[in-house]
Amino acid sequence: MKLLFFCCFFIVAAFSQSQTSRLEDEYEASLDAWQTLNPRAYTFVVISEVLVAEPTKYRIGRTTIKVRNDQVVSRSYVEKEPVYYPGEVAVSWSETTPETLGTNEGGYPASTFDDVYNDCLNNILSYPDPDTDGYAKLDVDSNGLISRCGYYGSNAHAYINIESVKYCR
């Protein structure tokens, strides 16, 4: 019986370690792909779900962030409803000057794509607690860049969903 317990424990521990190790390897490969590109000018779009009424009414938000020479130069946000149809705009704003950047609530923060990688690593992939039933997941696009970084559990979830990254070299 003790042997069976130790075998099961070893298999679970090995699976957990291999899952963590795989995520770390995928993250490092994706970060390397981003750093190899090293664009000086780019725009990316972050998708978010916005709960507007309990329990199931959602809107979809799109935050567009423009970066030049490693500085955020503009951030805009459009929120539409309903989720499943090209609905009417419910919320919309733009921040286009240094004084206005970060002044509106909602949307993804005024960030560079390097900040997205840091957010993914430090706030999402590190989130899973071994005592929960959640799991972390990292998806990359055809260029190897983060397209989705998430933690999913029965009592909590957090994710960054990148719709697109356009860049100039």
Q: What pLDDT, on a 0 to 100 scale, did the predictor assign at position 159?
A: 86
Query: pLDDT digit string (tens) for 132-158?
Result: 678 888 999 999 999 999 888 777 778
Q: What pLDDT, on a 0 to 100 scale, did the predictor assign at position 3?
A: 45
Query: pLDDT digit string (tens) for 26-49?
Result: 999 999 999 999 898 999 999 987
Instruction: Report domain extents, the chain.
Output: 37-168
Write down the residue that tokens 């507007």 correspond to. 52
Contacts of 49 (CB under 8 A, 6+ apart): 58, 59, 60, 61, 83
**3 state SS for the chain:** CHHHHHHHHHHHHHHHHHHHHHHHHHHHHHHHHHHHHCCCEEEEEEEEEEEEECCCEEEEEEEEEEEECCEEEEEEEEEEECCCCCCEEEEEEEECCCCCCCCCCCCCCCCCHHHHHHHHHHHHHCCCCCCCCCEEEEEECCCCCEEEEEEECCCCEEEEEEEEEEEEC
Whole-prediction pTM: 0.81
